[in-house]
Structure 1
């Protein structure tokens, strides 16, 4: 995923994290300046959904404006073009397969 917070902020003429913090406070979102600077400077590992909602409200954008899917790169450096099912592993089945053999599970209690 590509994180486009700076681009979305620039569309609102916001060029610094401190200005972004002021825009957040206008919608009732009050993160610390260090958290805003971390969101500003790089791609976050995770963002809470309610925080993402407040960021979008402050910037007048959608989640699609902030997050953009990037093509996957294969081991040989080429971009993968085919669409994959969620959880699909290369060379493996798309759907889970039932276990064969082994102990049977008991039924859940009534």
Structure 2
């Protein structure tokens, strides 16, 4: 997903994160400068739904306005060989996985850690 907070804020005439942060505080959401920076500079790793609700209220938009799907990125994350990813022939002779199959070590003790 592409995060579009700066674009939505600019559409409302908000050009600085400090200005948006003050508006959020006025609406009852006090956030740290670091959190505001992560929202403003890029895609936030997490966001509480209550915070998103206040953000939408302040910018007069919906959550969909902040996010744009990026299907090419999703396709790039898919494994090259879908059968190997689903576990087909996993560890079997003729396995077409990326590396050699690792045989189990039955009855062999593990090595001791270095001193």
Deviation at 1:26, TM superposition (A): 2.3
CA distance in 2 between counterparts of 1:74 and 1:67 reads 19
Bigger Rg over Cα: 2
Q: What is the SS of the residue equivalent to 1:50?
A: helix
TM-score normalised by length of structure 1: 0.64
TM-score normalised by length of structure 2: 0.61
1:4-37 Cα offsets, whole Å, 9 max, x none, are 1001100111111101111112211111122111
CA contact (8 A) 1:2 1:69 kept: yes
Structure 1: state its 5+ residue gaps: 77-89, 93-110
Number of aligned positions between the proteins = 79
Q: Please tell me the root mean square deviation across aligned C-alpha atoms, in Å.
A: 1.9
